[in-house]
Structure 1
């Protein structure tokens, strides 16, 4: 809105000339008088003059331009246009849900929604007890094969506590089935569990396959030597079997460290 001027200029204007224009300003709903900042902005006047103009507006009785104007003295097109009233908001035809008072002993029934997915029924775990039946005969065959091969390669009865418990003896051949087969089963579990870092899973995979292959070759070697009536295994079989406890210790320690890493 262009501020009214005197003689078409914007030089300082008297309060009396600004009063009608200030009275005709469009005010927001709920405000009876324009603010001092708006008077300063609309008429390019300073704060003292705007305060004086605002005091005059508040001092005079609230009258409309139609009440003060003489009949046919002012062109109707020049009168300020009253703002159109804002349309009333139509009420929402949807009734609000009725809230029933809660009873202490009332059972709450959940209300299902059309788009709510139904929780899947947890699948029943597969039983593992048949593995015990499968492992018993395999344990007997593997144990006897490794102990027999150990006897052909120099493993036998030793006294691990000389001077402390001289009567205590143990057959060192049992270290072969305990070490090789136990590590193979553990590495297989780590590989298939899916709960270890990728490096540990990759190491467990290849070491489990290697351990099971070595176990199978050990069984084959024992049965071939036993069928041929050999009482002492060849040197290369003895060398390989003698290195198995050390290899199992190294692979077991490495796998244990890899399982605990987070890199």
Structure 2
């Protein structure tokens, strides 16, 4: 075992509580597409390559008003994909390790896919919302409701959704995912904020907290910043990232590898 793996195993084994901080790289080993860069995104979604549309362009909330078939084609496909995806073994390992600690385990993630809940985790803070919850496009209400039972009929040749599209149960207008998109001023943050408040209260009660950060890049540094903040007092940070593993000021353990590969070695 390398020195880095040995140090990481020691931090996890000696933890009083475990905080898992996860970015998009956590889901790659479950078979979810890597949206890093236009080429990676277009490999996952060839119809968008033909249209020359990037992930950032599609993840723009204005499409729900301007072209709802395009918008729900993209998010409807992702909703079905995430529902069908089975979390990889690394999720179970993290849950098991956290449950052995006196303070338990909590999760902070920028992912909207619901993989941690599917793996049996409770206490998950979803900083950017969840594709498994909806809100009204017109903000007739600040209600957020589960997408259970919501199905989107998709033409996979064009990646456009067919009518009927998901609707708000209150006004009957168009619904949208309760996800923070790019340039999004209409996202209803109350569900995510309640999760974050609960996580903050939990953190205040913990001693000897170890943070395990997985697959969180620098392009959207939400997860990296939170992991660094949570581990600032102790330096008990394990950063697992195949491309961007660097840790500032040596405050933690840096492992340049994928999530599942590393978690299996630690196990």
TM over 0.5, shorter chain: no
Name which structure has the greater RCO, CA cutoff 8 Å, separation 6+: 2
Give the number of the structure whose residues are more often helix, by fraction: 1
TM-score range, shorter chain: under 0.3
TM-score, length basis structure 2: 0.20
